[in-house]
Chains A and B, each alone.
Chain A
Amino acid sequence: QVQLVESGGGLVKPGGSLRLSCAASGFTFSDYYMGWIRQAPGRGLEWISYIGNSGSLINYADSVRGRFTISRDNARNSLFLQMNSLRAEDTALYYCARDLMGGRSSNWFDPWGQGTLVTVSS
């Protein structure tokens, strides 16, 4: 079955960096656009980044643009999020999610992974 498993979260100091990974299985990864969405403690969902199936289309929320970089390795069925210059407000559970439609962009997300927790604190 389709599975997305995030990893790489942890505790980091303000100004530090982390690289999140998302391992995909159960579907043809290279056919699907992918996204990252986060949820800060006690808050709602916030979309942060999106990447096309070949990596040529990329978009970011203003809150992370210039600090975060999304990428993918289709040969390894993996999605990444490089997070630099981390701030306390980046503390959240980070989910990777697959686009609903294969071969094109729908900007709907289904399914989602279980998330990986990032805590930014001194």
Chain B
Amino acid sequence: EIVLTQSPATLSLSPGERATLSCRASQSISSYLAWYQHKPGQAPRLLIYDASNRATGIPARFSGSGSGTDFTLTVSSLEPEDFAVYYCQQRSNWPLTFGGGTKVEI
């Protein structure tokens, strides 16, 4: 099973600041990585797939990069609605696995 390790566990930032979230895979997963945003009481939302492709309707301030084992989600300038938990997910191998999440808080 591929283990995804996200860091940091918590990121404390202010609106307008840049957020940089990391996801590291236990083995190479090429570009088979996605990022999701999850707010309390809401359904998770796909932000990025195939490491760098924004999903439909996702603002341009969200960007993804990386390949192999190291991946980054960047939010260029945090909006109030961006404070949430972010998960990465790989589809390189079964079982599909998620990282433990990074909470972006004010």
On A, residues with C-beta under 8 Å from B are 35, 37, 44-47, 50, 59, 61-62, 95, 97, 100, 106-115
Q: Which of A61, A109, A112, A114 contacts B95 (CB 8 A)?
A: A61
> In the bound complex, how far is the Cα of B101 from the Cα of A95, in angstroms?
17
Q: Shortest beta-carbon distance, A56 to chain B, in Å?
A: 16
Interface of B is mostly: loop
B71 within 8 A of A: no
Q: Which of A45, A59, A112, A114 touches B98 (beta carbons < 8 Å)?
A: A45
Question: Which A residue's beta carbon lies closest to that of B95?
Answer: A61
Q: Tell me, in angstroms, the Cα distance from A95 to B45 when the chains sit together.
A: 12
Q: Decide if A111 touches B98 in the complex (CB within 8 Å).
A: no
- B49 pairs with A100, CB closer than 8 A: yes
A-B contact pairs, 17 of them (CB 8 A): A37-B44, A44-B98, A44-B100, A44-B101, A45-B44, A45-B98, A45-B101, A62-B95, A100-B55, A106-B49, A107-B91, A108-B46, A108-B89, A108-B91, A111-B46, A113-B43, A114-B43
